[in-house]
Chains A and B, each alone.
Chain A
């Protein structure tokens, strides 16, 4: 497991550290913000937390010994988001992750083709999912992370990434169906 040193950050970083950080980590600021935005759902909160996470990453930077800088950063962003949620919106974290998997998605491709290409509808549907479903979807579909990267960012065993994604997609299908406009839902 690619953990980072949680215990202590060095706060004496010099110009050389700064240059390395600019080169390796700062280019992933968009990824950091995007993940925070989807975990916290509100832009203003996401800006604050992304900033805090980026500065935390900087303090821990001497503990980063090469490798996947994006995954390393996103791991810190995720932890910072969850800490923030625990403190500010604990109710959101209480939703159950391990629910039973139904064998088939409940939306037909046709219904999705009509309803799914709508940014607002997708956003709303994604936002109704518990954070742990939302994050695997965002990492996979928006960030293009591999299972290995998802495992290291979210601290779930690599063997369960596939089933986590399966559950998350199923939940999203269901959320989309539920938010389908009246005419469509009558048919389903």
Chain B
């Protein structure tokens, strides 16, 4: 073989990875070596085929979505707790199925003054389910009532009473702003043995009531009452006895 250059050098030249001196040397060699000139031509041709044939495959959109969901799950949420995706889906599916079957208007069904409540059961359940989606539970995350309560200042036209009942087994997780019946309301979030309880609070001009009988739909319990110019609705998937206990604590 007449060519005394190592054949790999040609690739370094092709890839523009030779230093200036070696590249110049190789160029001088090319002028007199037909073999290397032909070989370089073949490599350039192969490269252009590879680059012009649309071989690069971009990530599918579905993969991008799956990865984002995975990242969400691996990121500590603001409330410090995670609601798994399947549970979210199960909850959403239940809402859809049951909503189609039974559509009655609450609290009109109740026999006492609850009939004037400014929101419907469907709205409360929607708000509760929405809050369980990752990152939606709380705007302010704190177990300290003296942090949660002032947080609402300036965000609502009223100040909701906020108390922690950790000693009684209801841990204050935080609070957030929500909308019920087109009205801004405060949502207080408690946890009870890993279950989430939302307590919606908004001002009312109606007189006080007792804690109303429990409502149950789609596996969610709620308790509703009015006390000292505030309307309360607590909703959760905990048992009614737990919910009633919290309602009594808040009622005092």
Contact = CB atoms under 8 A, between A and B. Distances in A.
A50 interface: yes
B11 A14 contact: no
B46 A14 contact: no
Interface in A107-121: 107-109, 112-113, 116-119
Contact of B60 (A47, A122, A163): A47
A117 B53 contact: yes
B248 interface: no
B55 A122 contact: yes
Contacts, number: 131
Interface residues of B, number: 43
A162 B11 contact: yes
Interface size band for A: 35 or more
B63 A47 contact: yes
B50 A112 contact: no
Contact of B63 (A33, A101, A147, A162): A33
Interface in B25-72: 35, 38-39, 41-47, 49-60, 62-64, 66-67, 70-71
A126 B46 contact: no
Nearest to B75: A18
Contacts of A140: 15
B17 interface: yes
Interface string A19-37: 0010000100110111001
Contacts of A15: 75-76, 78
B209 to A, nearest CB: 41
Contact of A11 (B42, B47, B50, B74): B74
Contacts of B101: none
8 contacts: A29-B67, A33-B60, A34-B57, A47-B62, A116-B49, A141-B51, A163-B11, A173-B46
Given A117-B49, A122-B53, A141-B47, 17 more contacts: A26-B67, A30-B56, A43-B57, A51-B63, A55-B67, A58-B71, A105-B39, A109-B41, A119-B55, A122-B50, A126-B55, A137-B50, A141-B51, A162-B15, A166-B8, A169-B11, A173-B42
